[in-house]
Amino acid sequence: MLLRTAHARFVIGMLVLTAAFYALPEYRMYTWAAIGLSAAAAVLVGVRKHKPSRRLPWWLLAGVLVSFTAGDTTYNILTDHLHQENPFPCLADGFYLASYPLLAAALLIFIRARSGSGNRAALLDALVPTAGLGLLSWVFLIAPYVRDTDLTIMEKLTSVSYPLGDVLALAMLLRLLIAPGRKPLAITVLGAGVSGLLVTDVLYGLRQLAGTWATGGPTDAGWVFFYAAIGVCALHPSMTQLTLDRQTAPVAVHASGRRIALMSFAALIAPVMLLVEDLRNEVHDALVIAVACASMFLLVIARVVDLLRAQREAGARERALREAGALLVAASTEKDAAAALRQAVDDLVPDGEPYRLHFVAEDFFGDTPPPHLAVMVEVASLPESLAAEFAGFEFALHATVLGSGRTATSPARSKQTYLAAAPGRLHSLRPSFDALMAQGAMAIGRIGLTDEVSRRSSEDYFRTLVQSASDVILIVGGDEEIRYASPSAEHVFGRPELVGSPLTGLFAGTDHAELRDLLSRAHLGRGRQDGIDLTAIRADGRLLQVESGCRDLRDDPTVNGYVLTMRDVTERRQLENDLTHQAFHDGLTGLANRVLFQNRLEHAAVRAENDGSTIGVLFVDLDDFKEVNDTLGHAVGDQLLIAVGERITRAIGPLNTAARTGGDEFAVLVEHAAGPDDVDELAGLIVAALGVPVEVGDGAGGTHVVSGNASIGVATTAEAGSTSELQRQADLAMYLAKGEGKNTWQRYRGDLHSGVVERLELRAALNDAAAAGQFVLRYQPIVELGSEDVVGLEALVRWEHPTRGLLGPDQFIDLAEENGSIVAIGNAVLREALRAFVGWREAAPDRPMRYVSVNVSARQFRTPGFVAQVRDALAETGARPEWLLLEITESLVLRDAEKVWADLRELREWGVRIAIDDFGTGYSSLSYLRQMPVDVLKIDKSFIDDILHSDEQLALVEAIVSLARTLKLAVVAEGIEHRDHHDVLLRLGCPYGQGYLFSRPVPPDQVTAWLAPEAVVS
């Protein structure tokens, strides 16, 4: 109550003095001095009441307040009584400036008391924002004074000293606030007060530079807040915690979100200031900004180096703990365990750092085992004999490891472990030391248990010793009957009483032979006797995996039986099985992966070689899977892969292996085939199963029906001599199936090997052909059937192969579609055709040739940015949009219609015309045709060939022409090879046509012949 009264009196007094300061201007000198001295008196009262462990910093804070007050009083006397006008510099400045080192010294003592002097991370974190805010102080407060030519050297030095003092105080404040640990209220109040001082000083400096400073303004309230905050801080009981040595080593500083935000803001100050000065064309502080940037960069690098070093040390500690665990497991005596602990500590402590590890054996009489967690102790507080062992060290970690359990007549033996080193190193090693002591406790407990079994004859004592052990310990007689079970057996097996029951009753019948073999090895003293996994059965019928070990102590009269130790490892083995499954199975489909497939193939090949059976390998590759991903998204693609994997698994049955070996690639191993025909039949079943459309979800509530068609390559050991050759043949056969039109399967045949290899070589060469300029264009005229004038040209691509000569599109277009090079080829054809057509139009602007027609594949059209590529090609070549006709297929507009139609409408809005190529061979309905954003229908050659001999074909062509006329679409008949075709089509009202009757596709230099006046193709 008294303290709350002191708080209230002080706060009320400060409010009264502040009100008097503003209300009575003629007494401001006296009220201001009263405010400062009251705060200093409050600090002295707080020190006397709470008696902090270190009083010096509080006296320094009182000195700060007195110094500030002396400066204010001196200044007021000089101006109000001696009538000096703005005396500067003067004695008052000396008092003001003296307060900054006093404040910094007080904060430094608080920092050392709370977190020591070695917390490098906290120091670096404090320096980064200090450097940034110091730069602001330079730009806005220091630099104007430095560049002011009207000031003397002494005036400049005095003016600059104020912001430098603020920067010093800011650095100390940030270091104090960033120090880890729980912060008492006194620190919060102190930080708020110092922050108020710094902000007020900045405002004072800015107003001085602007010439608007006047005593008695709102800025003075900031200094009043500083005085009041220091007083309240000293009067609060938590002030004693600011100088309480609670930590003996630095605490790790973690990068919280607010700290990262603060450091990021500070790091951006320098570039922002440089940008602002550059925008104003007033770059005066480039050197200072560069130094600030370099300083912050070096500070951040130093912080990163600390983090990397800490990470390396953590990795070394983890490795040392693993190695120690292995040594402790192998230890058979306490001496071995101590040696393992010494080796582990030596690995944990960095090379070159002094340390000392000491073990002390003591009797333990308590009922509750002491914890093995380490505590930090002062060496000076240890017994004299122990303190002598750690001469030269100030602190040590102390942990207790309990040895053999006590009886009514003898105590337990405990191992007191002490590790002395530098305080910082002890703190960083403490978690690892705790883990190491836990491992040591387990090892010593195990060793002690084994010793007690062989040394003690009393079963009651033995039960007391092991009753808290989690591992099950059984003593079994030569008749395999359980004679003793540790209390943990009831928890593990769920059976309240095991003594007298047969050992085999605890285990599954399938493991009885392995159990007897373990007992036999223990009896003979040969072979593996530890780490044997057996399947146990709980009383509730649940199966357990137990790791078992056995020792034959039948010759020991105190035991007279086999000692079995068992540990429940069910969850651990389940985790190991899960990890093993993930290592050998595909994460998406759950099928075997490439590694497991290869392993089973190798084993199957060995069996086939021994028994003469036939094995087969099927390589399955989805057709046009990339289009599914590109058009419908990867979520749909993943669902399709899962469905395909399920269908393949159902088709091949449980005796064969299905695997996913790549993105859209699967493999099937047929192990039990009677002959190659069985493998062929299985391939046909898979093709049929995948040929049924798949309905999949897109993850957003929508569904899509997609094709799972695949090409399958088949190979058997009847043709292959090794597993690698078997897989290579299946791969070649798969590519042969791709070339046969997809959605089929092909068996490898030796006579087709060269053809498949040639196809693969062409496919590989396509990747570089476009860049090498190996594709050339041929142009076929599109004529008006009535006048036979050339009204357009269709650009047709050919491959000028360096070794095979000129190749037609039927030899490489499908391959280009497969490997994606069709996109590059299509872009090159589009640009070259437009460039050539622009030249011909400029050469003969009066000729009726109006456009050039370019084929666009579905894959090229669906490529993101295709519409922009067309626009760029038109702009690059200078072609007008109406000069371009893009030919697409019906399948393109039927799949993903909404997106495709939107792109088509955008192209038509520019003036580009759209044609449906090979019309009539697709599946478009009349309703679709009416809505399609197209301009031209091109009747496929297959309809034209039979119009002279088939009334049905003639009627069909007539219907197409009539339909196009109704829908106001132009019609071009393809493949006109005879004059009779020409006459019939003209009579049916078909306006345009192309074919060998008029001209074969010709090189560009022959097109100029059609540009001559009155030229008609023939």
| Three-state helix/strand/coil letters over 409-468 | CCCEEEEEEEEEECHHHHHHHHHHHHHHHHHHHHHHHHHHHHHHHHHCCCHHHHHHHHCC
Q: Is the pLDDT confidence value at 795 over 90? A: yes
Q: At what angle do helices 220-235 and 56-76 cross, to 10 degrees?
A: 150
Note the pLDDT of residue 260: 67
Q: Are 780 and 796 in contact (CB under 8 A)?
A: yes
The whole-number average pLDDT for the span 291-315 is 69
From the CB of residue 543, how many other CB atoms can be counted at a distance below 10 Å? 11
Percentage of the chain lying above the pLDDT 70 cut: 77
Q: Is the pLDDT confidence value at 2 over 50? A: no
SS3 856: coil
The pLDDT mean for the chain works out to 79
Note the pLDDT of residue 282: 66
The whole-number average pLDDT for the span 661-667 is 90
How do residues 210-234 score in pLDDT, each as one tens digit?
666 667 777 778 788 888 888 888 8
Could you tell me the fold of the domain covering 460-575? Beta-Lactamase (3.30.450)
136 vs 272 pLDDT, higher one = 272
CA distance 1012 to 416: 110
Encoded tokens for 98:
């003296």
Mean pLDDT is highest, among 154-158, 648-652, 727-731, for 648-652
CA distance 962 to 950: 18
How do residues 179-204 score in pLDDT, each as one tens digit?
666 778 878 887 788 777 777 777 77
Note the pLDDT of residue 364: 52
Amino acid at 171: A
Note the pLDDT of residue 876: 93
Note the pLDDT of residue 654: 87
How do residues 364-411 score in pLDDT, each as one tens digit?
555 555 555 678 888 888 888 888 888 888 888 888 765 554 444 455
Encoded tokens for 887:
């030919």
Note the pLDDT of residue 838: 92
Q: Is the pLDDT confidence value at 1001 over 80? A: yes
Beta partners for residue 665, in sequence order: 621
The whole-number average pLDDT for the span 166-182 is 67
125 vs 415 pLDDT, higher one = 415
Encoded tokens for 472:
């099950």
Note the pLDDT of residue 439: 80
CA distance 221 to 205: 15
Note the pLDDT of residue 886: 93
Q: What is the CATH number of domain 585-749?
A: 3.30.70.270
Q: Is the pLDDT confidence value at 511 over 90? A: no
| Cα–Cα nearest to 1004, from 780, 819, 786, 815 | 780
CA distance 418 to 391: 13
The whole-number average pLDDT for the span 149-170 is 69
Note the pLDDT of residue 252: 46
Note the pLDDT of residue 712: 93
Q: Kindly indicate the confidence band of residue 248, based on its pLDDT and cuts at 50, 70 and 90.
A: very low
The whole-number average pLDDT for the span 302-307 is 68
Q: Kindly indicate the confidence band of residue 881, based on its pLDDT and cuts at 50, 70 and 90.
A: very high
The whole-number average pLDDT for the span 856-883 is 89
C-alpha radius of gyration, the chain, whole number: 46
Percentage of the chain lying above the pLDDT 90 cut: 13
Note the pLDDT of residue 250: 43
Q: Kindly indicate the confidence band of residue 878, based on its pLDDT and cuts at 50, 70 and 90.
A: very high
Encoded tokens for 400:
């207790």
Q: Is the pLDDT confidence value at 462 over 80? A: no
Note the pLDDT of residue 288: 62
Note the pLDDT of residue 859: 81
Note the pLDDT of residue 779: 93
Q: Kindly indicate the confidence band of residue 913, based on its pLDDT and cuts at 50, 70 and 90.
A: very high
CA distance 888 to 933: 12
* Alpha helices for 799-857 (secondary structure H): 813-819, 822-843
CA distance 520 to 528: 11
How do residues 314-360 score in pLDDT, each as one tens digit?
777 778 778 877 887 788 887 888 888 888 888 888 888 888 888 88
Q: Is the pLDDT confidence value at 636 over 90? A: no
Q: Are 289 and 270 in contact (CB under 8 A)?
A: yes
Window from 117-121, 333-337, 1007-1011 with minimum mean pLDDT: 117-121
138 vs 938 pLDDT, higher one = 938
Note the pLDDT of residue 259: 58
Q: Kindly indicate the confidence band of residue 1000, based on its pLDDT and cuts at 50, 70 and 90.
A: very high
The whole-number average pLDDT for the span 559-570 is 85
Note the pLDDT of residue 675: 82
Q: Which CATH number fits domain 779-1008: 3.90.226.10, 3.30.559.10, 3.10.400.10, 3.20.20.450?
A: 3.20.20.450
How do residues 535-544 score in pLDDT, each as one tens digit?
888 888 888 8
The whole-number average pLDDT for the span 767-778 is 82
The whole-number average pLDDT for the span 989-1016 is 84
Window from 26-30, 447-451, 650-654 with minimum mean pLDDT: 447-451
Q: Is the pLDDT confidence value at 744 over 50? A: yes
| Cα–Cα nearest to 711, from 736, 737, 731 | 737
Q: Is the pLDDT confidence value at 926 over 60? A: no
CA distance 549 to 561: 14
Q: Is the pLDDT confidence value at 771 over 50? A: yes
CA angle centred on 822, ends 821 and 828, rounded to 5°: 95
The whole-number average pLDDT for the span 706-719 is 88
Window from 132-141, 171-180, 689-698, 949-958 with minimum mean pLDDT: 132-141
Beta partners for residue 372, in sequence order: none
Kindly provide the residue ranges of all beta strands, DSSP E only, lying in 577-724, ordered along the sequence: 614-622, 657-660, 665-673, 694-697, 703-706, 710-716
Q: Kindly indicate the confidence band of residue 251, based on its pLDDT and cuts at 50, 70 and 90.
A: very low
Mean pLDDT is highest, among 230-244, 592-606, 796-810, for 592-606
CA distance 125 to 303: 8
SS3 485: strand
Mean pLDDT is highest, among 557-566, 615-624, 625-634, for 615-624
